[in-house]
Amino acid sequence: MISQISKEDLGREFASMKEPIEACVHCGFCLPTCPTYLTMGDEMNSPRGRIFLMKETLEGKLNPSEIDPYVDNCLGCLACVTSCPSGVEYGELISPYRAWSEKQRKRGLGERLQRVALFKTIPYPDRFRTASKVASLFRPLAPYLPKGFSAMLELAPSELPPKQEFKEFYPAQGEKKGRVALLIGCAQQVLAPRINRAAIRVLNRNGIEVLVPRSQGCCGSLAMHIGESKGARKAACKNFETFPEDVDAIISTAAGCGSGMKEYGTLFAGEEDALRVQAKDYASKVIDICEYLDQIGFTPPEIENPETVKVVYHDACHLAHAQKVRSAPRKLLRSMPGLEILEPAEWEICCGSAGSYNIEHSDTAKELGERKVKNLYATDADIIATGNIGCLTQIEFHSKDKETPLRVVHTVELLDRAIE
């Protein structure tokens, strides 16, 4: 698509938006895989439609406020990237565009309060733990509150696992094959710290020593994906200082965190040269745990006479679409004794979690969550596995009314056999 957009006018921070717009040939291959096009059914809520709207806005033909609702509706799942034959990097457009438009946007009081509540709690584990406990107490009030706030109360877990502390160093078992640093996440260490424990055990058993930097914080993905680029850069810079340089890799067990950190090159595009280089160097070391285990040669545990367990694998969008990691988790799971791996229909369609999307767009997220759960349960599996804490909690939430809800676990828990 020919555009009249000038990189010079956009500036270094937002110059990356030009290429995806001009690469789009409007073929429409993205439409069947776009969750909002499937649920809303109109062109402006498709990747093709949004690209056209963003182009018109950046050329000055539309006011940003005219297209804000359509851009907001996007989950940022990047299924369109997987299905695009022209190689349009939609992620290099949607995140910078949101940051660009946010600077000009005037949000209402309710929206501002909701976003403050999100950004001042979820990235901070202690605050998030307290907020979750308070929210569960006030859940009966949910029907009487605005949608965003009611969604917060409804999604809050009824119970939380005990708070867990992590040592800074976990030695490799047997011959040492590598040295990594582990991002333990913000929401994950509150909702499911067992995932990090399983990851450390699996890495150690496979000859990898694990560092858990004590002062690490949120990776900034939540802020980045909804246009709060300044907050995202602040969070990232803290981790630049915290994570050691003498590691082979920075391991992520949450797809959203991993994909966000890999976008640091785009996030810091407008910063000074030294910081841009630092961001790119950090991002180059980020890798999902399944991809890393596959690369080093995962050794499955020996299990005598295992019972067959049917596992349906759910592709987290920010693992399958954003990071292009689909085969590694399946390969690892198939190597485990006793596991039979099943595939659901519509694997490419988002479950509706998408960071804070199930709070800010609860109706669409509910429709997608129910659709995903229906497809997963249709496989007649015993267990659901996925590689992202957001997907895990979304699937659990929309399974709660099932007569016999299936257990939802992280892939690495199965590799650890921590489900027993």
For 242-298, the pLDDT digits (tens) are 999 999 999 999 999 999 999 998 899 888 889 999 999 999 999 999 999 999 999
Domains 7-102 and 301-416 belong to one CATH topology: no
pLDDT at res. 3: 66
- Decide if pLDDT at 77 tops 80: yes
Domain at 7-102, CATH homologous superfamily: Alpha-helical ferredoxin (1.10.1060.10)
What is the side-by-side order of every strand in the sheet holding 407-410?
A: 339-342, 309-314, 383-386, 407-410
Phi, psi of 245 (to 5 degrees): -85, -20
CATH of domain 301-416: 3.40.50.1860
Which has more confidence, 107 or 298? 298
CB-neighbour burial class of residue 29 (10 A; exposed 0-12, middle 13-18, buried 19+): middle
pLDDT at res. 56: 94
The pTM of this model reads 0.92
Mean pLDDT of 87-93: 93
Mean pLDDT of 3-31: 85
Which has more confidence, 149 or 212? 212
Interval 354-368: pLDDT, tens: 888 988 899 999 999
Report the sign of the C-alpha dihedral through residues 333, 334, 339, 345, in that order: positive
Q: How far apart (Å, rounded) are the C-alpha atoms in residues 260 and 415?
A: 25
Q: How far apart (Å, rounded) are the C-alpha atoms in residues 137 and 117?
A: 17
- Decide if pLDDT at 420 tops 80: no
Of 283, 287, 327, 263, nearest to 89 by C-alpha is 263
- Decide if pLDDT at 377 tops 90: yes
Q: Calculate helix-pair angle for 193-205, 289-296, nearest 10 degrees.
A: 10
pLDDT at res. 305: 80
- Decide if pLDDT at 165 tops 70: yes
* Percent of the chain surpassing pLDDT 70: 98
CB-neighbour burial class of residue 69 (10 A; exposed 0-12, middle 13-18, buried 19+): exposed
Task: Say if residues 50 and 101 touch (Cβ distance below 8 Å).
Answer: no
Give the tokens for residue 410: 């992280």
Give the tokens for residue 98: 């949101």
Interval 45-74: pLDDT, tens: 999 999 999 999 999 999 999 999 999 999
- Decide if pLDDT at 212 tops 90: yes
Q: Where are the domains of the chain?
A: 7-102, 109-155, 301-416
- Decide if pLDDT at 385 tops 60: yes
Give Cα 127 distance to the centre of its chain: 21
- What stretch of H or E contains 371? helix 362-377
| Summary mean pLDDT of the chain | 92
Transcribe 114-157 into DSSP letters: HHHHHHTTTTSHHHHHHHHHHHHHTGGGGGGS-HHHHHHHHHS-
Query: Locate tokens 């073929």: which residue?
Result: 27
pLDDT at res. 2: 57
pLDDT at res. 152: 81
Of the listed ranges 101-110, 178-187, 381-390, the one predicted with least confidence: 101-110
Length of the chain measured in residues: 420
Transcribe 328-357 into DSSP letters: HHHHHHHHSTTEEEE--TTTTS--S-TTTH
Q: Where are the alpha helices (DSSP H) in 156-207?
A: 188-191, 193-205
**What pLDDT band is residue 119 in, cutting at 50, 70 and 90?**
confident
**What pLDDT band is residue 81 in, cutting at 50, 70 and 90?**
very high
Q: How far apart (Å, rounded) are the C-alpha atoms in residues 75 and 320?
A: 15
Interval 329-361: pLDDT, tens: 999 999 999 999 999 999 999 999 988 898 889
Task: Say if residues 253 and 188 touch (Cβ distance below 8 Å).
Answer: yes
Task: Say if residues 333 and 311 touch (Cβ distance below 8 Å).
Answer: yes
Mean pLDDT of 312-329: 97
- Decide if pLDDT at 5 tops 80: no
